[in-house]
Structure 1
């Protein structure tokens, strides 16, 4: 058996997977055999454990060496103990039954005279501790904290105590007094000890939900009293005369600074009333750290990032929020990809609180759209949509269009995400019928149509259909067909199915416009449908569109030869193996053979489509022209009961069912109800959750049962609000049912109430999103709120 270095070289030098598997299997078998030898020298045992750790990294089974780890730990040789503890930490976890064999060994090593043996035992106990092991050995850890003056051991013992408290919160009562005593001790003042104090303080705060005793307020108060000491430490580390021993690229001990900032954030979040008197000092301290840190080094980035998280988690002053956004913008302008990703991810959470401050740095976000790293591009796209509003819509959508044109095949999911959100965005801002918006979508369809879902292609058709400017619509349709028929070079790939669907739909729907003034010949349009019918004979979706287009085009042309070609397209699918196409072809054949007048009545232009918004109300992109509807002759053609004027709605639905592959339109007419302005008072026991320039939001818990809670959310308007939408989300262990919203439109000073019902388990936490129209335009506000009650 060779050395570990030789083994690694052999594994890496394997040319095939089978050869590598053979090397690994043989070596694993040799190790297993050797470990059974009682006379094997200790240095050989250590070498075998080294190889086993490498096998563990490769994902191989190493359970047969668990007892050998215990044997090495029991050895008096420090080299054996070191490799034994390392192997135990890597190969074992707190759920292993064999861990009980470690109890006596850890107890012995925690009281060992050699500080390095004690250190190994503390590290292993912190990594492997289970609730049972914590209760058995906490006295040894406490003994070290109480008696030891060795900073090295006290640092390890504090961090081990933090792990023990996480496993068994009842032990917090034993360890929390050491936070204050050690923090104020002059002979234990190293950075490592302070880092351990911060870890123990964090464990004490986070164990609140598990702590079952009544003295927790006393413990919390003792933790709060240490805040001035934490301030002093942070100020000293940010002074110019700091200890160069802890200097990391010009930043004094960034690890300790980050942990202290995190500890302060937890304290201020958990005890807002007790810590209120320290808040002004925290504002000054964070300002000092954020302005004095060197923003070009990664060590400073860690401290700055923790400052920004603290600023927004605690909802500090407006000036600090703007400073935090500026810090994140500097991260975006750097070259480090990790820092960019962190900045983008944080800005996504910051946008609801400071949208205008984030928008000022959108040029840096736009640069990230073209970053080589796909994770950065993804976050940049999400952030672009988050900061997009009516004031910067054209600029940012232009950036997104450029991004899509530059995207490759590896960004398929990202392309679908962008197109889907653009369509929703146009609908939200009511610009889906504008010339610019339609030009954008058609341009994107031309470039990335092969990646767009067919349902979204139907949305683009709906936008074209609802276009008010008839001249622009005519020009756009002709451009589409010029590219499709090869009369102009549009750079459309051959596998762009979305573009072909739109082309076929335009031929059927607007064939009369295309044939005007001989702009296109009827033979060209018919030939294009015939070509696609042959190329995509197995694609149900496009064949369905072709059949409808052929039927509609037949009512617009007079050429007998072309009509015969269209008849053959429809007739060719009357025996199709797909029943949907077969039924459609049979029905279309009946309509095809009717007189021209009847065909024109049935196959007229589609009306303006309506779609349902998120509230379930019908919403039309454009008001349809007021015309007298002619009797629908479709039922007559299919030998059904003649339609009367009172059945117009049913007839139109029947027509829509036959042309089922046209873009779906929700034609249900929902009556618009006048908003009731009943005065709703906000209960005195409601908890204030959020406020902005437009509104105040409060939450009142009506009832909390073991697995169900009922709440009311009150929105008080500072200025008139229209079309209010309340969206909410809860944690994964819970389910939310939204009740009724009393008013969608609120006058200044009035209140609207939203009923909420939560079932499940866990802490009551909400993410609320409010969409409304104010005098300045459409506004989107989002916030998170955590209640004291639990299910």
Structure 2
């Protein structure tokens, strides 16, 4: 039975036991609504019920296009209830690109002149939400008329908010906007100038500044080729800024008085007087000084010291015990760093952010405040590294928070502040952190934390620690070796074998051979001692791999070391250990460990003299000569041939591994701290999809046999040369490949002009069900690195992206190309987010925009 009222409809949908039942209820109700809305004799009361159901369908994500015209028709009613619902439905069901908006022009024009202020307010809300450029130009005179004639603070507030939206849509409206009305009528009249009107004034001023900022960006992007229109727009906007610069003292005074202790009960929010207005005033003043300092306008720069004092007052007088106070302090901090103010103020901003890491225990928003503090500190580390260093203790405490996102942000900030001086201290803390989260049942586990999250944290921590060890390679090698082994013992079960190769490279390249041999001798003794049931290595494949590699490389040195217990570590025990590992991993699905075991057995055969042990090693190799895995079978046959060669020949091939030459990481370039955990979260079917990152082939040093130059090539050398080892390229010089140069096609169209990036689009082909597009991305003012484009399309379409060409690093003036293939149906719409790093700055920046093509597939 189809529901007859909205309440019963919602009850039926929520009570559906299966997805099929829910779909059946929605389909029947949607068909009923469609039929009812076609009835010309349907009363307005029943129309309202059906429109309400339609809005519920919209919330559920169902198609509601068939009710758009009826929503507009409902606005034409003289009944306020009908108008209110009609305007709400219109705002939700329509967007700015639809032609149906032309039907609204007359209705909005009439309602903007209506004697009922609440109907006028509805029209202003709708115009602000849905105004296209044409609609903004047609109806702007009505909005301006309200500003000039009305003295009702309620209407003035709505009109100012709407005016700000219209200026966003069409900057040419600034030419006719009466700027004098802000000071003469609004700010100087205490009856009219309520908190709501002040909010509206702030929004209008911000719209003016953003319009000017866009003009400045266009001017900087065009350089010598800027056209006359852009220059005229700039001069006009500068004139406007000079005109409104007189508002700075008034706005500063009002902000200072709001921050005083004399509270008005009507605007008190948890002991803070109107935090919404305070935040908007701070943002507005920030825009004043950002534009004024950039253009060096004396009318604005003369107030710089006053603004610095005001920010200090706000930071001192605002209580951080409640969330409203934190919101104000956060805006103060953003203003300090965006305006690049003096060093004492930057230190003050760091102190505010550090206080965010220890919010009040009585606050229910503690985790939100922590996240904001950590996320902002990561961005400001390059500007004030020493100030952030002082709060290492608070940052380390965040590592043990319940929230997984806070853990990741704390890790990112920890690696951002890590340097050669605090490497040992922070590494000790991170090893302790790894020990806690590696436990299967650690003390702070909750229903919101599982071992999958722990694995992501472990992999992220180990990955970045290895990078830091590469950057700061001149430290204490003994401590480094102990740390690496501790990490392997703690978290080896979570680390992929490919990542373990990084450990092997680090271990192999250490110069302190004496301590390295003594350490591995101790570890091998613990493993082989039958009295010690500390075979905690069972299941730890990463540590097994390291020990297999060390047996192949250092057995002869370990046996000669004075600290080695010869009763435990001898030829028989070592060979038995290898044989046991071979039996353990030969039946596993992942055969990579067997490759290492075979290589270790071959190398070990040249380091021992016990005949029975040598035969046992040969049996390990021969056991895989008929393996189902072709690679193992080939390697087994080749190794058997080499195994049977005289010792003099074998030792030439099985010499110790040389040092691995790796591309060093510059200490000034720090890795990205934004975590990329691939867990999709659906958000209205318009979520930006994570793209696949470039796959990097890791080196497998334990499988490499050192190449030996000989004058004669025998059959053994030929067989080894044909082995498909992926890691034989270590230390080899690669031939330089010419870099592809991407040029901008003449028919490409500019679709985004941002602060740092300019984006162009070229349409290759659009046919029914298929579209091919190309995006060209160009940095404007700075060198850009690690560009990560994220794109999304409507749910009726599917998007396929190619890799960036030629690379994701760009110099100023160069282009990078991205190819898009879209299949499906509907209008072509793109939401694009570009994440990148600027001038090797560790802070990740991003620009996001929407692009709609006037075509369908």
User: Which category describes the TM-score, using the shorter chain as reference length?
Assistant: 0.7 to 0.9
* CA distances 1:394-425 after superposition (whole Å, capped 9, x unpaired): 22112212222222332323322211111111
Query: Which residue number in structure 2 is paired with residue 218 of structure 1?
Result: 239
TM-score by length of 1: 0.80
CA distance in 2, matches of 1:128, 1:411: 45
Residues 1:434 and 2:477 are matched in the alignment: yes
What is the alpha-carbon distance in structure 2 between the residues aligned to residue 615 and residue 572 of structure 1? Answer: 46
* Cα deviations by residue, 1:290-328 (Å, 9 ceiling, x for unpaired): 010111110111100000000111111211111111111
Structure 2 CA distance for partners of 1:782 and 1:162, relative to 1, 3 Å = closer
Is the CA contact 1:484–1:503 (under 8 Å) kept in the aligned structure 2? no
RMSD: 3.6
Indicate whether 1:528 and 2:577 are aligned.
yes
> What is the alpha-carbon distance in structure 2 between the residues aligned to residue 282 and residue 226 of structure 1?
13
Aligned to 1:193: 197
Equivalent position of 1:767 in the other structure: 838
Q: Please say if residues 767 and 785 of structure 1, whose CA atoms lie closer than 8 Å, have aligned partners that are also in contact.
A: no
Equivalent residue, structure 1, for 2:224: none
* 1:50 Cα offset (Å): 2.1
Which one of the candidate residues 366, 369, 385 is aligned to 1:339?
Answer: 369
Aligned twin of 1:355: 385
| Pair 1:184-2:227 in alignment | no
**Alignment of 1:239 onto 2:242:** no
Corresponding residue of 2:658: 607
Query: How far did 1:381 drift?
Result: 0.4
What residue number does 1:141 align with? 143
Query: Aligned residue for 1:281?
Result: 306
1:384 maps onto 2:414 in alignment: yes
CA distance in 2, matches of 1:185, 1:665: 75
Q: Deviation at 1:553?
A: 1.2
Report the Cα offset of residue 757 of structure 1: 5.1
Report what 1:368 is aligned to: 398
Within 2, Cα distance between the matches of 1:287 and 1:321? 11
The aligned residue for residue 72 of structure 2 is 70
Which ranges in structure 1 are unaligned for 5 or more consecutive residues?
Answer: 617-628, 642-653, 671-705, 714-725, 740-753, 771-780, 787-791
CA distance in 2, matches of 1:729, 1:219: 39
Residue equivalent to 1:778: none
Moved more, 447-456 or 217-226: 447-456
Q: Secondary structure at the match of 1:611?
A: coil
- Measure how far apart 1:579 and its partner are: 4.7
Per-residue deviation, 1:613: 1.6
CA deviation map 1:109-162 (0-9, x unaligned): 111110000001111111111112112211111111121111111111111111
Q: Output the CA distance in 2 between the equivalents of 1:294 and 1:355.
A: 26
Post-superposition offset of 1:634? 10
Q: How does 1:269-668 map to 2 (within 5 A)?
A: 269-272=290-293, 273-274=296-297, 275-334=300-359, 335=361, 336-407=366-437, 408-431=451-474, 434-482=477-525, 487=530, 488=532, 492=536, 494-515=538-559, 517-537=566-586, 538-576=589-627, 578-614=629-665, 636=713, 638=715, 660=725, 665-666=730-731
| Shift, 1:104, TM fit | 1.2
Q: Which residue of 1 aligns with 2:35?
A: 33
**Superposition deviation, residue 26 in structure 1:** 2.8
Deviations 1:442-469 (A, max 9, x none): 2112222233243331121122223333
Judged with a 3 Å threshold, the aligned counterparts in structure 2 of structure 1 residues 145 and 756 are, in CA distance, closer, same or farther, namely closer
Distance in 2 separating the partners of 1:455 and 1:548: 17
Distance 1:470 1:489 in 2: 29
Q: What is the rounded CA distance, in whole Å, between the counterparts of 1:329 and 1:565 in structure 2?
A: 62
Q: Is the 8 A contact 1:523 1:562 kept in 2?
A: yes
Larger RCO, structure (CA 8 Å, separation 6 or more):
2
Distance of aligned partners of 1:707 and 1:21 in 2 relative to their CA distance in 1, 3 Å threshold: closer
Other structure's SS at 2:662 match: strand
User: How many residues of Structure 1 are paired with residues of Structure 2 in the alignment?
Assistant: 689
Partners of 1:755 and 1:131 lie apart in 2 by: 36
Give CA-to-partner distance per residue, 1:501-537, whole Å, 9 cap, x none: 2122122112224555243243433333333334433
Q: Distance in 1 between matches of 2:76 and 2:537?
A: 70
Answer with 219-228 or 632-641: which moved more. Answer: 632-641
Counterpart among 76, 79, 82 of residue 81 in structure 2 = 79
- 1:476–1:585 distance in 2 versus 1, CA, 3 Å: same
Is residue 784–residue 837 contact of structure 2 (8 Å, CA) maintained in 1?
no
The superposition leaves residues 248-268 of structure 1 with CA deviations (integer Å, 9 ceiling, x where unpaired) of: 111111111111111111221
Shift of 1:612: 2.1
SS at match of 1:510: helix
1:486 Cα deviation from its structure 2 partner: 7.6
Give secondary structure in 2 for the equivalent of 1:175. coil
2:118 alignment partner in structure 1? 116
Are the equivalent residues in 1 in contact too, given 2:528–2:569 (CA < 8 A)?
A: no
Q: What TM-score comes out, normalization by structure 2 length? A: 0.74
Distance in 2 separating the partners of 1:11 and 1:631: 74
> Helix, strand or coil for the counterpart of 2:346?
helix
| 2:625 and 2:634 in contact (8 A); partners too | yes
What secondary structure does 2:547 align onto? helix
TM-fit CA distance, 1:480: 4.0
Q: 1:160 to 1:657 in 2, by over 3 A?
A: farther
Q: Distance in 2 between matches of 1:367 and 1:663?
A: 44
Which of 86, 89, 92 aligns to 2:91? It is 89
Maintained 8 Å contact 2:779/2:811: no
CA distance in 2, matches of 1:757, 1:230: 41
Any idea what SS the aligned residue of 1:266 has? helix
SS in structure 1 of the partner of residue 493 of structure 2:
helix
Farther off after superposition, 117-126 or 397-406: 397-406
CA shift, 1:351, in A, is: 0.8
TM-aligned CA distance change 1:609 to 1:569, over 3 Å? same
- 1:495 Cα shift? 4.4
Matched residue SS, 2:731: coil
* CA 419–323 in structure 1, closer or farther in 2 if over 3 Å, else same: same
Distance across 2 between alignment mates of 1:396 and 1:587: 47
* Matched residue SS, 2:114: coil
Alpha-carbon spacing, 1:783–1:583, altered in 2? closer, same or farther (3 Å) = closer
- Using the alignment, how far apart are the partners of 2:468 and 2:722 within structure 1? 28
234-243 or 474-483, which deviates more: 474-483
Q: Which of 204, 210, 227 is 2:248 aligned to?
A: 227
Contact 2:537 2:543 in 1 (8 A): no
Partner-residue secondary structure (3-state), 2:164: helix
Separation in 1, partners of 2:711, 2:542: 30
Select between 600-609 and 484-493 the one with higher mean Cα deviation: 484-493
Q: Go from structure 1 to structure 2 and tell me whether the alpha carbon gap of 1:89 and 1:494 turns closer, same or farther (over 3 Å shift).
A: farther
Please state whether the residue corresponding to 1:769 is helix, strand or coil: coil
| Inter-partner Cα distance in structure 2 for 1:260 and 1:636 | 81
